[in-house]
A and B are shown apart, each in its own frame.
Chain A
Amino acid sequence: MEDQNNGFLADENDQPKENPRRNFLKQTSLLTAVALTPGVAVKAAENHFDEKVAAAFEKLPLNLTVNGTAHKLSIEPRVTLLDLLREQLDLTGTKKGCDYGQCGACTVHVDGHRVNSCLTLAMMVDGKKVTTIEGLAKGDQLHPMQEAFIKHDGFQCGYCTPGQIMSAVACVREGHANSEGEIREYMSGNICRCGAYPNIVNAIQEVKNGGQQV
């Protein structure tokens, strides 16, 4: 144990009054910051701004509402909305497919508009309202689009389905579900590798023609 921590304990001996664990964390987070961001951090460290450097790479405050619940969070700026939802808020209904904005599995609504949450930095939805697949149903009562996907067998493996449904709801709300061709065009950002497209189109058409509030 002593051997493993030798370097840090040696430093500790020079500063006996400080809490060793706290000092260890300070040093390693500073080292990480310096290692990962040479330009800014090294210059700052040279000027003994170490505490400020550490602070600069720590977390920023973020307030957002997800499915009607307000959250006060503290996050690193590089966290995407997708990772925030899945890893920190345990809302794993939103799927990580490609993680590069090419498949649509991560589609959520921000202030009512569909976006790819994988390319959205969480900091950029500060103050906004996010709706995920978990926020569509009212208790045990499924959203009409969820019902229609089940009825029309709009999925096989189901991995793309949360994104497809979020996109489908937006497609109807936007007024872009007036024909099969229009639905296919405005749903093109959601890839289904099982190829359930005809059934997805049928589900959307049923909801659109049913005239229900979506």
Chain B
Amino acid sequence: MKQFQYIRPATQQSVLEAIAKPGTKIIAGGSNLVDLMKHGVMSPDKLVDINKLPLRSITPSKSGLHIGALALNSQVAEDKQVKEKFPLLSMALNAGASAQLRNMATVGGNMMQRTRCPYFYDTTMPCNKRNPNSGCGALEGFNRMHAIFGASDKCIAVYPSDMSVALAALDATVLIAGRKGQRRLPFTDFHRLPGNTPELDNNLAKDELILAVEIPDNNFAKHSYYLKVRDRASYAFALVSVAAALDIDNGTIRGARLAMGGVAHKPWRLTEAEKSLVGKPATLASFEQAAQIAMQGAKAYKDNAFKLQLGPATITEALQHAAGLV
């Protein structure tokens, strides 16, 4: 690992001043950043450890739940309020990483984690995300894990977080601090599609800090499910994952939320499929139809055509679990 300086500021103001300087990088849990630094993919001159900031608590907000950016993944997954109000988030968190990593990783760090595309990690390979304009190794390479939605000819990598798929489905908001004040961003607008600038994973500016995510109250707690399909039963990244949440009244669907992971450069919210479910009976036929709608516009590459079948199958099964049909 390249040498670097390390500071541990005690206030938000001093963190914001420090991260505005070039070569600096925030460290929270470090479970992805230290890995990337060991691989030489990222090599900051200075790490700004933000663990002294009071951003670890999970508290009720006016109309939902406020989760501090430094809340640990294990802490959120086990939190009583989260399990009661948003079990989907708890399920998604527990589907990610290992118990050890969940004890290290924070909410903000999970949002900021980078793709596990092997061409991004291998510094001998071309990668537009790691080294802009060097080309994309995955486009013509081994692309079994890669995107089927929203990719560009510059990048077909997928975003790896499970937590973020649930937060996208749950209409969460991100609270962000900058030197000029705070702003709020819908969670679904936080991450970006690759387009011509795949080096940008998200819309957080270099001199900004994630403070928290907020989830509004909803009626989905009774009927939600996170289904993750992967190469082994646990501790692997998703081939395809689905966050499904339904509001069912006497067998009829009043509202639905659906998002997919492992298929795009950001959590892939399925709004058309959601709309198609409203007013329909909570049955397998409704779910299969929604799954077909969800897959419109999907495009496979050389090695990932299986995701075109696995995608709708996973959506259908997740919805069946959410509805309590299986």
Contacts and interface: CB of A to CB of B under 8 A. Distances in A.
Interface of A: 33, 36-37, 39-40, 56-57, 60, 76-78, 80, 99-101, 104, 107, 113-116, 119-121, 123-124, 126, 167, 170-171, 174, 176, 184-190
B59 interface: no
B141 interface: no
Contact of A36 (B3, B74, B234): B3
Nearest to B6: A77
Contact of B97 (A80, A187, A189): A189
B4 A37 contact: yes
B300 interface: no
Contacts of A107: 100
Interface of B: 1-6, 8, 22-23, 27, 30-31, 34-35, 37-39, 45-47, 49, 51, 74, 97-101, 103-104, 233-235
A184 B235 CA distance: 11
Given A101-B101, A115-B104, A121-B27, A40 B5 contact: yes
B168 to A, nearest CB: 24
Contacts of A77: 3-6, 47
B45 A120 contact: no
Contact of B46 (A40, A120, A184): A40
Contact of B3 (A33, A121, A170, A187): A33
Contacts of A116: 31, 100-101, 104
10 contacts: A37-B4, A78-B2, A78-B37, A80-B34, A114-B100, A114-B103, A115-B103, A124-B49, A184-B234, A188-B99
Contacts of A188: 98-99, 233-235
Contacts of B98: 104, 188-190
Contacts, number: 99
Contacts of B4: 37, 77-78
A68 B140 CA distance: 54
Nearest to B23: A39
B100 A189 contact: yes
A179 to B, nearest CB: 14
Contacts of B49: 123-124
B5 A171 contact: no
Contacts of A184: 233-234
Given A39-B23, A120-B104, A170-B99, A78 B35 contact: no
Contacts of B23: 39-40
Contacts of A40: 5, 23, 45-46
A158 B98 CA distance: 21
A188 B169 CA distance: 27
A78 B40 CA distance: 13
A76 B3 CA distance: 8
A104 to B, nearest CB: 6
A100 B99 contact: no
8 tightest CB-CB pairs across the interface, nearest first? A189-B98, A77-B6, A188-B234, A188-B235, A113-B103, A40-B45, A119-B34, A78-B1
Count chain A CB atoms within 10 A of each CB in B38, B51, B103 and give the residue with the most.
B103
Given A119-B35, A188-B234, A104 B5 contact: no
Nearest to B72: A113
Nearest to B121: A100
Given A123-B49, A188-B234, A36 B2 contact: yes
A121 B99 contact: no
Contacts of B104: 115-116, 119-120
Given A116-B104, A119-B104, A174 B31 contact: no
Given A37-B2, A77-B6, A188-B235, A124 B30 contact: yes
Given A114-B100, A116-B100, A188-B235, A37 B3 contact: yes
Contact of B45 (A39, A123, A171, A186): A39
Contacts of A36: 2-3
Nearest to A110: B103
Contacts of B38: 99-100
A119 B31 contact: yes
B204 to A, nearest CB: 22
Given A37-B45, A39-B22, 20 more contacts: A39-B23, A60-B6, A77-B3, A77-B5, A78-B2, A78-B3, A80-B34, A101-B31, A115-B104, A116-B104, A119-B34, A123-B8, A185-B233, A188-B98, A188-B99, A188-B233, A188-B235, A189-B97, A189-B100, A190-B98
Contact of A115 (B46, B100, B235): B100
Contacts of A100: 35, 38-39
A202 B109 CA distance: 35
B99 A114 contact: yes
B6 A186 contact: no
Count chain A CB atoms within 10 A of each CB in B1, B4, B49 and give the residue with the most.
B4
A160 B43 CA distance: 30
